[in-house]
Amino acid sequence: MTRTLDRAASGTTRGLLFRLVPPGLYAGRSHALVERAYVVNRRAWLAVVSGFFEPLFFLLSLGFGFGRLVGTVQGPDGPIGYAAFVAPALLAASAMNGAVFDATFNLFFKFKYAKVYDAVLATPMGPVDIALGEATWCLIRGGLYSGGFLVVMLSFGLVDSPWALLALPVCLLVAVAFAAVGMAAATFMRSWHDFDLVQLAVLPLFLFSTTFYPLSVYPGWLQAVVRCTPLYHAIELTRGLTTGNVAWADLGHVAYFAVMAVVGVAVASRRLGRLLLT
């Protein structure tokens, strides 16, 4: 009788703990979602690889085509060719685009229509596993795009420093940061029409974050706005590494993306837990 009462009390206590402890503490199995993403996408490899060609076409058309009319522009450490100026910016932008669109569209579809995460939460995994697993898959895709484009830059002679080897890990950090924020944003979306807001945010970043022209062309107040945008920090990192202009101030750019990634994963896991477990 005593044992029965002890078991009942233990079960009640455990039930209270499951209700009180945040579901985000159930993390530890995010690798299972990464494996699932690989299995799903290995038969759709063309869709995965296609993301590599967009920055390549921009480089060929603008960097080399339009660049013949431009000549040289002011780089981080003096005048450089226009193609060498644009290429590292496109490298950072490819990491951003691949991560953002994969995180937002895929997460929204799995959450809203495929109900993948409802099935995931029926297993020992929790919302943090979902956030980390999806962010890791976006990181892998962003790394593939960035690594391939870095090889293209090397083949065209657009890399002037061995510091460029660090551009790949920087792009991975950029990808995971944008993926985390993209996942957090996707949890607030109600329909496919809301994805117009994603384009509304990403396209100005791509065009105006010193991707195609230096910061000095803007008026002073607008320069301050551009310096606050995430893609600007990514471009400053990649452009500095590929041209050999590395400084301690670059650690500030790295910290920017570290905070961005942590906040994005925290918000995404909290929102997923609230939406899926209530």
pLDDT of residue 141 exceeding 50, the answer is yes
Mean local confidence (pLDDT), 168-190: 88
Domain ranges of the chain: 24-276
Structure token pair of residue 88? 């590292």
pLDDT of residue 158 exceeding 60, the answer is yes
pLDDT of residue 7 exceeding 50, the answer is no
234 confidence band (pLDDT: 50, 70, 90): very high
The three-point CA angle 33-37-38 to 5° equals 120
257 confidence band (pLDDT: 50, 70, 90): very high
* Higher pLDDT among residues 260 and 74, named by residue: 260
pLDDT of residue 240 exceeding 70, the answer is yes
Residue 41 pLDDT = 76
Structure token pair of residue 246? 């590395």
pLDDT of residue 5 exceeding 50, the answer is no
Residue 49 pLDDT = 66
- The predicted model scores a pTM of 0.81
Residue 103 pLDDT = 82
Residue 278 pLDDT = 64
pLDDT of residue 16 exceeding 70, the answer is no
Structure token pair of residue 16? 């209270």
Of 9-18, 72-81, 111-120, 168-177, which has the strongest mean pLDDT? 168-177
Query: What digits encode the pLDDT tens for the residues 204-214?
Result: 898 888 888 88
The candidate with the shortest Cα–Cα distance to 194, out of 264, 277, 112, is: 112
Mean local confidence (pLDDT), 36-57: 73
Q: Are 127 and 22 in contact (CB under 8 A)?
A: no
Mean local confidence (pLDDT), 245-262: 90
